[in-house]
Structure 1
Amino acid sequence: METRQRPKHPLIAELLTSGLSVSAANIATLPMDVLKVRLQLQTAQLAGSPSGLLMTGMHIIRSEGLTGLYRGLNPAVARGLFYGGVRLGCYTPIKTLLGADPEHLSLLRNIAAGSMSGAMAAAASNPMDLVKTQLQAQNSPFHSSSQVIRHVIKNEGLSGLWNGTAPSMTRAAVLTAAQCATYDEVKKAWKRLTGWEDAFPTHLASSLATGLVTTTITAPVDVVKTHMFMGGVHKGQSVLQCAAAIVKRDGMRGLLRGWTAQYVRLGPQTTVIFVVMEPLRKLSGLDAL
């Protein structure tokens, strides 16, 4: 039986492995994140904006070059290291603190742990997410993170950097709970049904299924969050008011706007996160997820 040396500082190891995994995933899927933001804000932009994933991507390349697909790279990496590190790095410690529930209650424990770690990470890293979204918006007047920060503080004060915190926390709680709890349960079921070991093929299959579930659950919250980062349909709206305005204007389908781009991004992102994190955890002496 393989003997694994435990890390001296397990929490730091959790945060580092998670942060590096999420940053790698953010870099790999950033073009899809840009497309998702453009599609979600499409009706809020100028008339004549291209529709659909492919047309939007071609329009960005023609008008902004390939670099247009990587707008917001710096805050995306910084957010991955910090937000991703806390969001996923605190999941296992919180799950452990909640105790070893009986098998039939483990899913509820995992959902609670994911919700807590996700909401905590989102509240702390909201300015990075806001900056990234404003840089990625179509016809954005900003060229750097510092420009966005100065503009927001000048016009809305320091608290303006926390616009959209409520939907951001909600999305992060739902996202982390969906990702981690689904991955936990799917991996256990997959190993039981196939007899496969806890290795790359199992990680890949489990993370692919997790990406589909996670995208569908988080899509409506993500649309609302994106609109609120850009000032909402009308500035000063609450989460529910913003969601109601979107539904009134675009119907229920408006809450799923950009779903394809979100899945094309979040599916591979979820896969990259877990297939990178699992070996990193092994190298650092942490238990498998």
Structure 2
Amino acid sequence: MSDGSKTALSKSTFHFVAGLGSGVVSAVLLQPFDLLKTRVQQSGTNSLSSAIADIRAAPRLLPALWRGAVPSALRTGFGSAIYFTSLNAIRQTAARLSPGRSATAGATPNPQSSSSSLPKLSNTSNLVAGAVARSFAGFILMPLTVIKVRYESTLYSYTSLASAGRDILAKEGVRGFFSGYGATTLRDAPYAGLYVLFYEQSKKRLSALVAPVSSASQSSQTTMMATPHAATINFTSGILAGGLCSAVSNPFDAVKTRLQLQPARYRNMVFGAATLVREEGIRALWDGLALRMARKALSSALAWTVYEELVRRAEVGWERSRGRGEMRG
């Protein structure tokens, strides 16, 4: 294996590990938001106050609040790992193939150029890359998603992940593990695409406000943005992008939850959406919106900030190692 291939493999492995770590951290910290959202969306009669009352009535409060944390951490952790790895590969390829892009959009972006060391792409490329990467990750992690949602719900009394998997397989077959995939994809693909687009645009504008550079430095090289500034920009951009995209995609999330909890009743995405609106009104499509906006905005911001900071530091290390290697050569 050539040195270039080893370096590419090493970077891909790092992106996978960084995505895994950032996903697990955000999933565990914010599991109570996810749990409450599922409880609110599982039935039109459930409200946030009743969901909180049910949890408070549990013998032990903390385990009740973090019920489903294990499948959530596994799903979000590995989902983030697959997502960030595939997204990076897609964006690196798009950057190399895009004509007229600057040097910072190449295969080895400059970690000093802004708050991010990731490739700089057009709005359309960011939109498509995010949607494709999320659809791919969502398909692979769909079985864990179904188990997670049912584990969080009060409609099922699963005692372990293994028992949940056996029950779904016995009653619904393999198809049961992919309940709601259509609605999930329609929710996640636009969400992820718009998220990357809004996130990158927000970073670009905030970077210009926080770290303006002189025209002289622009003509030569940009300055290293301090880590606190970079992390603040990335986190703020993540909050803004996550909140906006959550509001746009919440109807698909509401239908997806019903499909995964009661597939026999709601059958498919179109029928499920029509049934939900007919029986409970159009407001039901926005059940759990505040919880989802809070959870998604915070989780996306945490995941992207941790991921970007790890990548920034790694890129600096890789550049220094390459420089030392060239000097020895």
What TM bracket, shorter-length normalisation?
A: 0.7 to 0.9
One-letter identity of the residue aligned with 2:234: H
1:159 Cα deviation after fit: 2.3
One-letter identity of the residue aligned with 1:59: D
8 Å CA contact retained: 2:149, 2:260: yes
1:58 Cα deviation after fit: 3.4
1:69-148 counterparts in 2 under 5 A?
69-98=65-94, 99-100=97-98, 106-148=122-164
Q: Provide the C-alpha distance between the structure 1 equivalents of 2:268 and 2:82, rounded to a whole number of angstroms.
A: 26
1:274 Cα deviation after fit: 1.9
Partner of 1:188: 204
Select the residue among 245, 250, 255 that pairs with 1:219.
Answer: 250
Q: Percent identity?
A: 20
Partner of 1:228: 259
Q: Does 1:163 align with 2:179?
A: yes
Q: Provide the C-alpha distance between the structure 2 equivalents of 1:286 and 1:64, rounded to a whole number of angstroms.
A: 50
1:107 Cα deviation after fit: 0.9
In structure 2, the residue corresponding to 1:9 is in which secondary structure?
A: helix
Q: Provide the C-alpha distance between the structure 2 equivalents of 1:114 and 1:259, rounded to a whole number of angstroms.
A: 22
Q: Does 1:281 align with 2:322?
A: no
Q: Does 1:264 align with 2:262?
A: no
One-letter identity of the residue aligned with 2:75: R
In structure 1, the residue corresponding to 2:265 is in which secondary structure?
A: coil
1:160-196 deviations in Å (ceiling 9; x for gaps)? 2111121222222123213222211110111123436
One-letter identity of the residue aligned with 1:75: P
Pair 1:101–1:118, CA change in 2 (3 A): farther
One-letter identity of the residue aligned with 2:245: T
1:105 Cα deviation after fit: 7.7
1:96 Cα deviation after fit: 2.5
Q: How many residues align?
A: 275
One-letter identity of the residue aligned with 1:182: F
1:217-269 deviations in Å (ceiling 9; x for gaps)? 2211111111111124715x221111111111222211110001111211211
8 Å CA contact retained: 2:37, 2:288: yes
Partner of 1:3: none
1:64 Cα deviation after fit: 5.1
With structure 1 as the length reference, what TM-score do the two structures score?
Answer: 0.87
Partner of 1:151: 167
Partner of 1:22: 23
- Looking at CA atoms only, which structure, 1 or 2, has the larger radius of gyration? 2
In the alignment, structure 2 segments of 5+ residues that lack a partner are 1-6, 102-119, 213-224, 318-329
8 Å CA contact retained: 2:71, 2:144: yes
With structure 2 as the length reference, what TM-score do the two structures score?
Answer: 0.77
One-letter identity of the residue aligned with 1:204: F
Partner of 1:205: 236
8 Å CA contact retained: 1:27, 1:77: yes
In structure 1, the residue corresponding to 2:182 is in which secondary structure?
A: helix
In structure 2, the residue corresponding to 1:63 is in which secondary structure?
A: coil
8 Å CA contact retained: 2:130, 2:196: yes
8 Å CA contact retained: 2:19, 2:84: yes
Q: Provide the C-alpha distance between the structure 2 equivalents of 1:208 and 1:185, rounded to a whole number of angstroms.
A: 13
Partner of 2:221: none
Partner of 1:11: 12
Q: Provide the C-alpha distance between the structure 2 equivalents of 1:261 and 1:255, rounded to a whole number of angstroms.
A: 14
Partner of 1:34: 35
1:109 Cα deviation after fit: 0.7
8 Å CA contact retained: 2:23, 2:78: no
Tell me: higher relative CO, structure 1 or 2? Use CA pairs within 8 A at least 6 residues apart. 1
